[in-house]
A and B are shown apart, each in its own frame.
Chain A
Amino acid sequence: MIELDDVRVRLGQREVLCGVTARLPERRIGVIGANGSGKSTLARLLNGLVLPTSGTVTVLGDDTRRHAARIRRRVGFLFTDPDAQIVMPTVAEDVAFSLRRHKLPREEVQRRVTDVLDRYGLAGHADHPAHQLSGGQKQLLALCSVLVLEPEILVMDEPTTLLDLRHSRLVADVLRELPQQVVVISHDLALLADFDRLLVMDEGRIVADAPPPAAIGHYRKLMS
């Protein structure tokens, strides 16, 4: 459960979000809007990477301002560019890096890493250097590193922007299967077509909030 209450964010001189209020209990939530409309800022609010200048963001019952650490453990975040979030030299090491705080025995870490890599088709690459993966595989690896922690909410900022059609479909399929709540920012309307709810952002505000067909219609009108 995510709640935003009159959230404003000022970055430098600009007010990037100007009074966003929303309750988001649905399982799959999409966010669309023009470039620079504040989508990424909204996403970053949800795990405390950005804190509101005023107003409150409550995620899973915690205020992000006060419990950023706890929220970050429960909210996974996937960025657009996988190269910017893979931090270890090899595939398995990067997934294991996510588990470092769990103080698990080595075999258990090994098991979970192998498990998640298996599930997303990277099992054969466990010991390969991350840079030998294709862009799509890197994004899958980034996803594995997030999912291995079994977060309760998953926030993704344009996860398919750098992917080809096949890999975006793969990510779309993964999204459909995920049991947890997901919030996906995207310009890829096909990806969001079967979501429960879409938010349309414009100039730092939510200007439409509806199921996909209506929201996408509004978005198209906005863009023309």
Chain B
Amino acid sequence: MNGLTGAYVPGGSPLHRLPAGAKLAGLAACCTVLVLLRAPVSMAVAALVVGVLFAVSGVGVAAAWAQVRPVRWFAVALFAMQVVFADLPSAITSVSRVVLAVALAGLVTLTTRTEAMMAFLERCLSPARWVGLDPFRLSLLLSLTIRSVPVMADLATRVREAQRARGVEWSVRAFAVPLVVSALRHADALGEALSARGLDD
């Protein structure tokens, strides 16, 4: 659990310079259009547009592929299914829709710093103010979660090793109960430490 970093590729393209909110709004609009498009020809046009956007961003082929790669088997399965149950044109449309949407979303991720995106999304979460969660606590929530991921991962590893030593590694219960109990203990100790560090004042 070392690489808790985003997939951001540094660069100075117009896409890099757009604010995160604008890119997200654009992404939402594009995805809506993609869902509305029906003909394979319009998908070809859409694919061309996406290709141009990637070229403009200059993130490189490897980074682009890394974004689309996770859906490759799904795309194959979807294509096969659509060919069998529907017809070739709708198979092409369905698959390109998924792949293009994922690619576009990936493009936003590749051209937006994790911090910039986080700052924007943090603002989106501001309705949480209604339950008394002020902006400072909200950003603390995010940092604390990033900090806690490796701690929980270590905890899971330790619990699993302990269960293996006892020879009960097959039991989900023997793994999960101690894990959840330790997680809760840890959480409550963390809460106390936050109080000690003056979060309540």
Interface residues of A (CB under 8 A from B): 47, 49, 68-69, 72-73, 77, 79, 81, 83-89, 93, 97-98, 101, 129-132, 145
Contact = CB atoms under 8 A, between A and B. Distances in A.
Interface of B: 1-2, 4, 140, 143-144, 146-147, 150-151, 154, 186, 189-190, 192-198, 200-201
B197 A84 contact: no
Given A85-B193, A86-B147, A101-B201, 13 more contacts: A69-B201, A79-B189, A81-B189, A84-B190, A84-B192, A85-B196, A87-B190, A88-B147, A98-B197, A98-B198, A101-B198, A130-B147, A132-B2
Nearest to B188: A84
Given A93-B143, A129-B150, A132-B2, A85 B197 contact: yes
B189 A88 contact: no
Q: Which of A77, A89, A132 counts the most chain B CB atoms within 10 A?
A: A89
B1 A131 contact: yes
A69 B196 contact: no
A128 to B, nearest CB: 10
Contacts of A79: 189, 192-193, 196
Contact of B197 (A87, A131, A132): A87
Contact of A72 (B146, B147, B198): B198
Nearest to A131: B150
B195 A49 contact: yes
Nearest to B155: A83
Given A73-B198, A84-B186, A93-B143, A131 B193 contact: no
A49 B201 CA distance: 12
Q: Report the 9 A-B pairs with minimum CB-CB distance, sorted nearest first.
A: A69-B201, A85-B193, A84-B189, A131-B150, A77-B196, A89-B146, A89-B147, A84-B190, A72-B198
A88 to B, nearest CB: 5
Q: Which of A69, A83, A97, A145 counts the most chain B CB atoms within 10 A?
A: A83
Contacts of A145: 197
Contact of A73 (B192, B195, B201): B201
Given A87-B143, A129-B2, A72 B196 contact: yes
Nearest to A100: B136
Contacts of A47: 196
A49 B197 CA distance: 11
Given A129-B2, A131-B151, A87 B194 contact: yes
Contacts of B146: 89
Given A85-B196, A86-B147, A97-B197, A129 B189 contact: no
Contacts of A84: 186, 189-190, 192-193
Contact of B198 (A69, A93, A129, A132): A69
Q: Which of A81, A98, A131, A132 counts the most chain B CB atoms within 10 A?
A: A131
Contacts of B186: 83-84
Nearest to A142: B193
A127 to B, nearest CB: 13
A72 B201 contact: yes
Contacts of B144: 87-88
A131 B154 contact: yes
Given A79-B193, A84-B186, A132-B2, A89 B143 contact: yes
B4 A129 contact: yes
Nearest to B199: A87
Nearest to A81: B189
Contacts of B190: 84-85, 87
A68 B197 CA distance: 12
A191 B151 CA distance: 28
